[in-house]
Amino acid sequence: MEKPATAKGTNLSLWALGVAALLAAGAVGVKVWQSQSPSKPAAEAPVTAEEVGVLITQLEAHLKKNPDDVEGWMRLGWSLYGTEKYAESALAYRKATQLAPDKAEGWSALGEALVVSGDGRVTPDALSAFAKALAIDPTDARARYFAALAKEEAGDHVGALDGFFALLQDSPPDAPWVANVRATIAEIGKTAKIDVAPRLAALRPAEPGKGADRAAAAIPGPSTGQMRDAAAMPKGQQDAMVQSMVDGLEAKLKANPKQLDRWIMLIRSRVQLGETVKAAQALANARTAFAGDPASLTQLSEAADLLGVQ
């Protein structure tokens, strides 16, 4: 059987980036905002890209004075990832793993940054990072996803499916990655001509829970207090930084709407920010962008159902 293509630009690598976006941006980026008062709106004037850069510079200055601050390096990695500086994000996470090699989240975050900076491929360096994460914490959802994806890239369809099904089995049905994992399974089944329907039908997911909370717990992100201490950011600027990232994502989708994974990321982020009307509008815009594409529309509907967006 011919090995399916998994290089950059193919559907499977896009599923990977979609899950990365949901796990990293949905569970971590918005977590900073959530840890504040959800009922309060973000600052009236969102920070500009230049101001976000200044905040990152402040964090870098903090680390020059405190080079052994593991959490500081993790926060820098998250901040750089959020501004799409993936290679630089990987460098920050690598420093964190050097300082704290026993922290699974550091290895998992490093692997993810390496995957995204490598156009969606699970490189040997990234796979090594995920393996170290799983050796410390076998339940790490992000590491499990990409470890399974690496098997698919190597042509091990059965092994990949086993990994993805195991992840689904252990995930609550409302976990933010469920829709993308199911779509990945369907894609592999179609490409490798393996009937996955019976296994999907027989699947008994973990007990329902707050999927976003599970994701945030599995992939720790910076707390409000940590970012304030490290970068001396006033609370309003922290609110505005997260809001600016989400608004920036929406602007990019207007210019280039054929990015299914990012639409799901935007919808989820709006939900997490309590912006239900904007979440519904994003869903409508995404459906317009993918009109005539049944597979993408199905995935959008599945994600919307999980997030409670109509």
pLDDT of residue 172: 79
pLDDT of residue 67: 96
The CA distances from residue 180 to 17, 243, 261, 284, in Å, are 10, 24, 9, 19
pLDDT of residue 176: 65
In the DSSP assignment, the letter for residue 27 is I
pLDDT of residue 240: 63
- CATH code of the domain made up of 12-307: 1.25.40.10
pLDDT of residue 242: 67
For the chain, what are the domain ranges? 12-307
pLDDT of residue 238: 55
The residues, any chain, with a CB within 8 Å of residue 165's CB and separated by 6 or more, are 185, 199, 203
Three-state SS at 275: coil
Determine contact, residues 206/240, Cβ cutoff 8 Å. Answer: no
Residue indicated by tokens 């997260």:
242
Judge residue 297's burial from the number of C-beta atoms within 10 Å of its C-beta, 0-12 exposed, 13-18 middle, 19 or more buried: middle
pLDDT of residue 206: 63
Question: Which residue numbers in the chain have pLDDT < 50?
Answer: 1-47, 210-232
